[in-house]
Structure 1
Amino acid sequence: MSRPRTRERVVVVGAGMAAVRLAQDLVAGGRHDVTMLGDEPHAPYNRILLSAVLEGTHDPASLAMPLPDEVDLRLGTRVVDVHRAEREVELAERSRVPYDRLVLATGSIPTLPPIRGLVRVDGRLDERVHAFRSLEDCRRLDAAVPGARRAVVVGGGLLGLQVARALAVRGLATEVVEGGEHLLRSQVGPSAGSVLARGLGRLGTSVYTGARAVRLTPTGPTCRLSLDNGHALEDLDLVVLTAGGRPSTALARRAGLEVRRGVVVDEHLRTSDERISAIGDCAQRGDRTTGFVPPAWEQAGVLARHLRGEDATYDGSRVVARLRATGLDVAVLGEPERTAGEVVEVTNPVTGSHRRLVVRDGRVVAATFVGDLSRIGLVTQHFDRGTVLGPTEPGHLLMPDRATAATPVVLPDDAEVCSCAGVSAGAVRACASLDEVRATTRATTGCGGCSDAVRQLLATRTTQLEGTPR
């Protein structure tokens, strides 16, 4: 007689950042056998830093996200069906993988904007057109940069600005086309968008807002991109598409799960089948889907605790977005343009800074910082803790003390340094090196926006240790 299984078999469809976080947490619990099925041929990597690879500040090898040896990682593996009654997933080559718990971490898929001429008669993209979603996309674009002089990025969101800045740093004359009335329209308001556009202009990048690309026309070795306002961008060597994407839900739909924009989940990240969960870009909690690392990692942590039998729920309330690009600094907490409350705002077009707090019942419920992130750590603490501020404190938070601006800020141990992984200053100080920080806390492995703060904390720790009497 065979012995009953004491460890649950968890199959994760997808090998992105949320999937890796979940697998790490489950293996650490020691009660689950984890199989991860990824359709890309590459081991898991940090997608957020692809633009840093394009810019040249990161090596592709530095993007690797380590997995515990206990995880059964299968690459180049496409899941085509879920057989819920048998609790099995079917692969493209028709073999099946059994599960006790199934987790969909299928992410999102890019959508092509309605531009005539993007796709050739044979169904392939024009050779001058590049998507920017995967490591392969990054490598293909990187290889094309040395022979190019002019580029246009279609899409003025976070990814579009990161790619545009990377191309400009590489020496290309770069332009950005955004169909909305201002840049980062999903995250910030018109004032912040204008500050960003002026900042990009000072950095040599032209911005066209309120205009949509409608036609791509080959002109010999280059091409022309026509806009709906009658303007045309000429002599383009590269056209990079960063606009448009939607949750990947085809597998969930075929399985008969509830799907709206994303795969609908409850407070425990369970779908309409209690044996199947969804996390990351493909999941929808309430009316919200997310495209950012911090909420995806938060979902992975909550689901891991739930599968271990702990009382853990996800309310979908914490949204943090960071823009990582040379010369551009943006941080967004919550949804500043949609959240009700009293607004405290300071904009300085001359210095290229914009700061906005949304305060309700004395608490910071949303914030935008562009150009000057010196106070973002303190504001994030208040945002996360729900600190009740005094009547004048919101204004002071937007006005750094010039007299002490040059004095390094000493962060308390409970201050959050890495918003992606929720890592405190004390956790960083407990590490002896940057490698240890990355391995034990995951700080700097998300958007990378905390890298400078982490290095400063480690340097301060080293100085303190060197000054300790022996």
Structure 2
Amino acid sequence: MPERVVVVGGGMAAVRLAEHLGGDDRFAVTVLADEPHAPYNRILLSAVLEGTHAPSALTLRSQAWFADHGIDLRLGARVLEVDRDAREVVLVDGERVGFDRLVLATGSIPTLPPIRGLVRRDGTLHPKVHAFRSLADCRRLDEAASLLVEEGRSPVARPARAVVVGGGLLGLQVARALSVRGLRTEVVEGAGHLLASQVGPGGGWVLERDLRRLGTDVYTGARAVRLTDEGLRLDNGYVLPTELVVLTAGGRPSTSLARRAGLMVRRGVVVDSSLTSVTDDRVHAIGDCAEHRRRTTGFVPPAWEQAEVLARVLRGDATAYDGRRSVARLRATGLEVAVLGDPEHAEGEVVEMSNPIAGSHRRLVVHGGRIVAAALVGDLSRVGLITQLYDRGTVLGPDEPGQLLLPEAADAPAPLPDGAEVCACAGVTAGEVRACATVAECADRTRATTGCGGCADVVRRLVGSSPAPVAVG
């Protein structure tokens, strides 16, 4: 009898696990997705809002793909409880689904910031307020933005305004998308600079400068405290008139199901190096909801790595997840950011270079001659090479860290060998991309371009080509 593997969640980590287990006769896989859509790429929701991607382009795997690979995909299937004694999950309609192995891939949920006026007396959000986590959220915001832009075309109307609460990766992507759509957009960030969790003040200042240059005002070191008829009031007394408020600040791992099941939960579901719950060896957790070595992640690359490791664990292979690799990319028109590891807290010697005039900031943290973290803002011409050195733990010479921070000359593209990593999210090399004839084939075979989308330009240049110098951007 095949082992029954039930995956709770239909996000990017769940799909990656399904890709590795699908078609293997040793497993009978059931994926319980609570949204009514086929699993899609949440990272590219801002691209849909911006208008560069159609919603259909975000689908990771179709319902037909799941069926062809022997996977029971159930859409709109919300899990109410986990009965660990009976080894069953209970759906909201009362159906019970038995499991031999349970994988929690429930992701994260947004949290409301402490702003008075966001919620009306009947418990619903104020009509101006929008969350931005799901495809349904994106569609609602898209409709609201379209209506405001259309109304703003009247000769007597003032430009419609939007305020994005949160200056993290998601906040900047949403702000840029709304600005591109024609809304006068402002960003409110409580920390002293943008992307405070990923980059230092130098990088944050470059981002703020770029946003202002692109027409978006930024308020850092200020918190929104109240939504009124006049607008969004900040703690410094300033009021931002606005027709839209988008909440992108605040979020936490979705762990309520695990807590009710009696599993050990701190910030996330606590797992060991095999991504197994420390409470129950038949239960696993991957993606945003998992906590490994007191750390949770909110990025695609570690979630996909966890899915690959867990697939090997379920097959009985000797493997372990070390949780060290973390790569994040900002995908927004006119803004370029890549973060490897934890450049603000990693131990090591710091090599840093800023060019405020060109709008670039680069920071490497080197320990024992190896790159242990990096932050690149404004110029990603070296990101492919730096990522490769970071992943491989290559020992650098004394002058190499400084040389890596210099931009590539426009007329001297860096050679990209077959072993160089092109897609940080899926761990795809240049050689694997070159082996594909089209971008669509590459996406299907390797999953490159289906994560943050930052590798799309390089993939387009590489598909079907022979090894040749290619500038990584």
TM-score range, shorter chain: over 0.9
How far, CA to CA, are the matches of 1:73 and 1:53 in structure 2?
Answer: 25
Match of 1:38 in 2: 33
Counterpart CA distance in 2 for 1:263 and 1:253 is: 8
Give CA-to-partner distance per residue, 1:6-32, whole Å, 9 cap, x none: x11100000000000001101144321
SS at match of 1:288: coil
TM-score under structure 2 length normalisation: 0.94
1-structure distance, mates of 2:12, 2:376: 25
Aligned mates of 1:345, 1:421 — CA distance in 2: 28
**1:174 aligned residue (165, 185, 199):** 185
Q: Which amino acid aligns with 1:337?
A: E
User: 1:79, 1:89 within 8 Å by CA — same for their partners in 2?
Assistant: yes
Pick from 240, 249, 259 the counterpart of residue 253 of structure 1: 259
> In structure 2, what is the equivalent of residue 264 of structure 1?
270
In the alignment, structure 2 segments of 5+ residues that lack a partner are: 149-159
Shift of 1:218: 1.9
Matched, 1:413 2:408: no
1:199 aligns with 2:207: no
Instruction: Say whether the 8 Å CA contact 2:108–2:252 is kept in structure 1.
Output: yes
1:451 aligns with 2:418: no
User: What is residue 154 of structure 2 aligned with on the other side?
Assistant: none
5 Å-filtered alignment, 1:133-148, equals 133-148=133-148
AA partner of residue 241 (structure 1): L
Equivalent position SS for 1:311: coil
Whether 2:222 is the aligned partner of 1:216: answer no
> Cα offset for 1:216?
0.1
| Contact 1:294 1:421 (C-alpha < 8 Å) held by counterparts | yes
Instruction: Answer whether contact 2:263 2:269 (CA < 8 A) is retained.
Output: yes
Contact 2:381 2:408 (C-alpha < 8 Å) held by counterparts: no
CA RMSD of aligned residues (A): 1.3
Assess if the C-alpha contact under 8 Å between 1:29 and 1:308 holds in 2: no
Deviation at 1:335, TM superposition (A): 0.1
- Other-structure match for 1:151: 162
Counterpart CA distance in 2 for 1:11 and 1:167 is: 38
Give the deviation of 1:94 after TM superposition: 1.1
Distance 1:151 1:42 in 2: 28
**2:367 alignment partner, one of 357, 360, 375:** 360
Render the CA deviation track for 1:294-332: whole Å, top value 9, x for unaligned: 000000000001101111110110010000000000000
Match of 1:392 in 2: 399
**What are the superposed Cα offsets for residues 43-88 of structure 1, whole Å, 9 maximum, x if unpaired?**
1000000000000000000000114321101111111111111110
Deviations 1:195-235 (A, max 9, x none): 0000000000000000000000024xxxx00000111102x
Q: Distance in 1 between matches of 2:374 and 2:305?
A: 20
User: What CA distance in whole angstroms lies between the structure 2 residues aligned with 1:28 and 1:71?
Assistant: 8
- Report how far residue 409 of structure 1 moved: 2.9
Pick the aligned partner of 1:227 from 198, 221, 234.
234
Instruction: Report the TM-score when normalising by structure 1.
Output: 0.95
Other structure's SS at 1:10 match: strand
Tell me how far 1:282 sits from its aligned partner: 0.3
> Aligned partners of 1:246, 1:356: CA distance in 2, in Å?
28
Paired letter, 2:3: E
1:268–1:313 Cα contact (<8 Å) kept: yes
Amino acid in structure 2 at the alignment position of 1:306: V
CA distance in 1, matches of 2:229, 2:142: 21
Q: Could you tell me which amino acid in structure 1 is paired with residue 370 of structure 2?
A: R
* Percent of residue pairs bearing the same amino acid type: 69
Secondary structure at the counterpart of residue 246 of structure 2: strand
